[in-house]
Amino acid sequence: MSLTAGSRPDGTRPPAAVEEPTAAVGAAVAKARVPRKTSKVSKAGKVPFRVRLRRDRALILMTLPVILLLLLFNYVPLLGNVVAFQDYDPYISSNGVTAIFHSPWVGVEQFSRMVDDPLFWGAAKNTVLLFALQLVLFFPIPIALALLINSVIRPRVRAVAQAIMYLPHFFSWVLVVTVFQQIFGGAGIIAQTLEDHGWTGFDLMTNASLFKYLVTAQAVWKDAGWGIIVFLAALAAVSTDLYEAAAMDGAGRWRRMWHVTLPALRPVIALLLVLRVGDALSVGFEQFLLQRDAVGVGASEVLDTYVWNMGIQNGDFSYAAAVGLVKGAIGICLVLGANKFAHLLGEQGVYQK
């Protein structure tokens, strides 16, 4: 992973820093690091594990609590996925965990149920469609907004514009859906205005065929502004020298954007794209649950609501676990695939080998 790859050379720093007088840290470390690293690597090929353990013990100690938490809350619960191969009844024994040992094993029955369930395929189809739509209609918007904000020079205007764009992110989905209902619903502002001018029957909120676009629009309104933060950070890192040099060479506004700004954003865009693709099967949850009844299950069911409905609402934990497991497996394949693709394009991606 990029994190460990990056920190390993740095790992030589703590002993060096301890040895050096603190006053000279900056320059001395920078100078000392390069030869030390190369000499060690060239001698042994690899630092022995025990040496590294002793050398990094402070760092290891510091990460230990987090790793324990990660194990406890992320990895131990993974074991519970075995219920996907059972007909799990959490009440069969004195508690839910021991119930796993008492529930009957059914092999892949839950998975074949899933394959046979048209509702599952409907949810899967909606999920993929929505992902594609979000990728095309949502993903580029924060980039465009970041470029726009970046081109605003006056700090006051910039701050106000940013604040306005961030704000919807902090609204809950209930509120977002309600606001949309009040504007685009059959009794909303637009419908009422049209009614006053003799046009009847406007109701965007219960139109199942436009639902895909509606939810994407809601997502854009709510989260596009928030999404620009990371791009703005990347833009802030671009040296103004580059712009000045480009301007000196006679590059206009557009050429500067094309040859300076966008290349600077490329690694971030690639990274976010990989992450987004890995998360492709999670297109949203609350948003769909809240509008499920307005447009019907056919248009609004996505994998997450399907799992929730089966598992939490119907108490069919085994089946929900099976669907969740499949979703997770597909997600891993997508991350790996997208990352590979990023490498092929010469980008760093999420991690490196």
Angle CA(344)–CA(9)–CA(335) in degrees, nearest 5? 30
CB of 192 to another protein, least distance (A): 7
Cβ(215)–Cβ(284) under 8 Å? yes
Binding positions for another protein, 28-87, rule CB under 8 A = none
Of 2, 239, 314, 352, the one binding another protein by CB under 8 A: 314
CA-angle at 283, arms to 339 and 145, nearest 5°: 75
> Nearest approach, Cβ of 320 to another protein (angstroms)?
11
If the CB atoms of residues 88 and 231 are measured against another protein, the closer one turns out to be 88
What phi, psi does 119 have (nearest 5°)? -65, -40
Contact status: 91 vs another protein (CB under 8 A): yes
Within residues 163-222, the interface with another protein by CB under 8 A covers 172-174, 177-178, 181, 185-188, 191-192, 195-196, 200-201, 203, 205-206, 208
Interaction between residue 90 and another protein (CB under 8 A): yes
Kindly state whether residue 293 participates in binding another protein, applying the rule CB under 8 A. yes
Q: Where are the alpha helices (DSSP H) in the chain?
A: 2-10, 13-19, 25-44, 49-55, 57-70, 98-102, 109-116, 118-137, 140-151, 155-166, 173-184, 189-196, 211-236, 240-248, 253-256, 262-278, 286-295, 297-300, 303-308, 317-344
Angle in degrees, CA 126, 117, 289, rounded to 5:
45
Per-residue tokens: 181: 């209902």
Q: Which is nearer to another protein, 2 or 182 (CB)?
A: 182
Query: Is residue 99 a contact residue for another protein (CB under 8 A)?
Result: yes
| Interface positions with another protein (CB under 8 A) | 89-91, 94-96, 99, 172-174, 177-178, 181, 185-188, 191-192, 195-196, 200-201, 203, 205-206, 208, 284-286, 289-299, 308, 312-316
